[in-house]
Structure 1
Amino acid sequence: MLVSISLKKNHYQVNLSQGKSIAIALDFNHQQPNHFDASKALKRPMSVSGFIGDTKQGGSCNVNELAFNPHCNGTHTETIGHICHQDDTNTTTINQLKLSSLLPCTLISIEPEKALKQTENYVLPFDDVDCVITKKQLTLLLSTVENEQLEALVIRTLPNRSDKCHKTYNQHDPNSFFTTQAMQYLVERGIQHLIVDLPSIDRLNDQGLLNNHRLFWSINQNAKTANESTRTQSTITELAYINNELTDGFYFLNLQLPAFVNDAAPSQPILFDAKPVATNAFLKE
């Protein structure tokens, strides 16, 4: 199915049958990514009143019970409910997000750099092992990208090895993260939906400050409730995996989410190629 999309003065053709998922398949009970020493994502057959939900054990059908932590076991999307009181009337849950079916989205690739060599900073002093994504890097890569192409931004970190699909991030192998200036720059550019292949946009051991999350959602330091400037419909998606076959450039994003009444949920971001179309050709369709 082909659709034509007009975005400001530019026109694109999108083939909806050729989307490319950048989610990590969550393989319950087997290899999977892990963050913050969370329990492994597990599944087991339902067993009740003589019924067993496993055809190999004689059951009539397979009915699995699942146990997982959306923040730590795989690709997931977060709302401001991640850092705000979840019973606050201004806190957004996953089911309350109002997402367009196709979001203008840009994909870039960045190799995080040693933090101690940077002039930019973070809410806490850098450690020797810290690697960061900087405003300088983002500015260089996004300098020619129009703001209307940045409703969503996907960042692939380099090197991009396939072991990201089952990597364990901990204090011995911590994740890279963003500098304060880098996160401020993303907000200034108007990015509403940030997708990264990192387990967190903040440092693993950040004393619970989650400063980059706060900057992205425009929530005051240490506050647990939203304010009038809070970006309540913005999302952060972490632990994606962007295959090397996908080239940097402009796409349309379909961010697929379940109707969870929760601050986060497993998600499947799908990228669609955006083929530029001449104005005359667009008008004829």
Structure 2
Amino acid sequence: MLAKINNFEIDLSKPIDISIPLTNTDENPIAWYIEKPTIEPVVFGDWIGKVSEGKSSTNFNNIFFNPHGHGTHTECLGHITTDFYSINQSLTQFFFSAKLITIAPETIGEDLLITKEQVQKAMNLSTSRNLTTEALIIRTLPNQKDKKSRKYSNTNPPYLAEDAAVFIRESEIQHLLIDLPSVDREHDEGKLLAHKAFWNVKDTLHLNPDARLKATITEMIYVPDEVKDGDYILNLQIASFENDASPSKPILFQISDC
């Protein structure tokens, strides 16, 4: 099934899913010092909401999870502000022109950083079809498949330098996607420099008028090696949670000139 978006053609029958599914197994990725998700049937007395138990005609599960720590999720600036902002209210369009870049973070002291210079170079080298890039997807190297099940807590994962986040914001990128548990350092004393720089939040207590209410950050994606750097159409799907973040399903589509 073909569709045309801004004079570019995409094949809707060939989606590239870059999300990580949420499971209740040890294969689920985990960050931020929590346990794995729980998916279990509702129990009322001797009634169990599970068909295989022979006492229910339906499977009827409760799910307990944390969107920030249990897999692919999309967040709005309400993640860091005193006032409540909802991802369901912030993200109201779902198709975007996107650019995928690949970066090997640099060792700086005890940390691995994605630097401004790396982002700038990768964006310049990536192919372009004269699209105005609305979403930037960063794949980090090495790109092991165990990103889909990694336990990130207390491992000091790579993160985005503050000036890199400023550059991305000044490049008018509205949606940033990354295959790490956070754009910021795991232990950063609550500074959240990259989050604040990308959303242009100067004071989390009193939001400045030019803060980016419609911009989003998506973390813990996984982009397979066979997906090449370059331009795509992104479909960014979320669940309708009135919360700062939601589990999400970003989908890429290859594009071709019409």
User: 1:112 aligns to what?
Assistant: 105
User: 2:213 aligns to what?
Assistant: 232
Amino acid corresponding to residue 61 of structure 2 in structure 1: N
Runs ≥4 residues deviating over 4 A:
144-148
User: 1:181 aligns to what?
Assistant: 163
The Cα shift of 1:115 comes to 1.5
The Cα shift of 1:49 comes to 5.0
Cα distance in structure 2, aligned partners of 1:73 and 1:224: 27
For residue 74 of structure 1, give the secondary structure of its aligned residue in structure 2: coil
User: 1:208 aligns to what?
Assistant: 190
Deviates further, 49-58 or 187-196: 49-58
For residue 181 of structure 1, give the secondary structure of its aligned residue in structure 2: helix
Identify the match of residue 35 of structure 2 among 26, 33, 39.
Answer: 39
Identify the match of residue 229 of structure 2 among 248, 269, 278.
Answer: 248
Is the CA contact 1:101–1:254 (under 8 Å) kept in the aligned structure 2?
yes
Is the CA contact 1:112–1:157 (under 8 Å) kept in the aligned structure 2?
yes
User: 1:93 aligns to what?
Assistant: 86
Cα distance in structure 2, aligned partners of 1:133 and 1:47: 47
Deviates further, 32-41 or 160-169: 32-41
User: 2:175 aligns to what?
Assistant: 193
Cα distance in structure 1, aligned partners of 2:162 and 2:101: 19
Aligned length: 255
The Cα shift of 1:146 comes to 7.7
Cα distance in structure 1, aligned partners of 2:239 and 2:77: 17
Deviates further, 230-239 or 140-149: 140-149
The Cα shift of 1:255 comes to 0.4
Amino acid corresponding to residue 184 of structure 2 in structure 1: D
User: 1:27 aligns to what?
Assistant: 23
Amino acid corresponding to residue 136 of structure 2 in structure 1: L
Does residue 220 in structure 1 map to residue 202 in structure 2? yes
Cα distance in structure 2, aligned partners of 1:150 and 1:138: 14
Is the CA contact 2:129–2:231 (under 8 Å) kept in the aligned structure 1?
no
Does residue 170 in structure 1 map to residue 153 in structure 2? yes
Map 1:111-150 to 2 at 5 A. 111-116=104-109, 128=110, 130-143=111-124, 145=128, 148-150=131-133
For residue 165 of structure 2, give the secondary structure of its aligned residue in structure 1: helix
TM-aligned CA distance change 1:225 to 1:261, over 3 Å: farther
Per-residue CA deviation, residues 191-221 of structure 1 (Å, 9 max, x unaligned), is 1000000000000000111111011111115
Does residue 56 in structure 1 map to residue 52 in structure 2? yes
Is the CA contact 1:39–1:69 (under 8 Å) kept in the aligned structure 2?
no
Long gaps (5+) in structure 2: none
Long gaps (5+) in structure 1: 117-127, 278-285
User: 2:66 aligns to what?
Assistant: 69
Cα distance in structure 1, aligned partners of 2:51 and 2:12: 36
Amino acid corresponding to residue 160 of structure 1 in structure 2: N
Compare CA radii of gyration and give the structure with the larger one.
1
